[in-house]
Amino acid sequence: MSNLAYKINHNHKYQEELTVKKKVSVNKKARFTLGEKCLGFLFACAVLFGATEIVSNQIAIYNTNIEIQQIESVIEGQSKQNNDLLVQVKELSTYERIWGKAQELGLFLNEDNVKVVVD
């Protein structure tokens, strides 16, 4: 009987070894390769850089437009002031006004000493 018991025990060890060997190794594939990851990173950096450049250019354009509008308003104000002064010059240079000021200062009209100057 001892021989029979030995054979059963021997078969049992063989089956345990088979179950241990049946472990299947599963190879996990990476979703993206290293090259694809690098390309994706470079693309993201390029998009980020482009976006910041666009925003900074728009800010510069906006500030320049504000400066242009301020300068145009100053020019418009100065032009209005120049036109007002031109109107004043025309009003103050009329013949009647000049003659009145001359009489106030004691000047008189001597027709022998008058020379006509034409513009």
Cα–Cα distances (Å) from 42 to 22, 23, 50, 53, 56, in that order, read 44, 41, 12, 16, 21
Pair 32, 40: CB distance under 8 Å? yes
What CA–CA distance (Å, rounded) separates 90 from 82?
A: 12
Q: For the chain, which residues score pLDDT lower than 70? A: 1-24, 119
Is the backbone of residue 106 left (phi > 0), alpha (psi -120 to 50) or beta? Answer: left
**Global pTM?**
0.52
User: Each residue of 24-57: pLDDT tens digit?
Assistant: 677 777 788 999 999 999 999 999 999 999 999 9
Q: What percent of the chain has pLDDT over 90?
A: 54
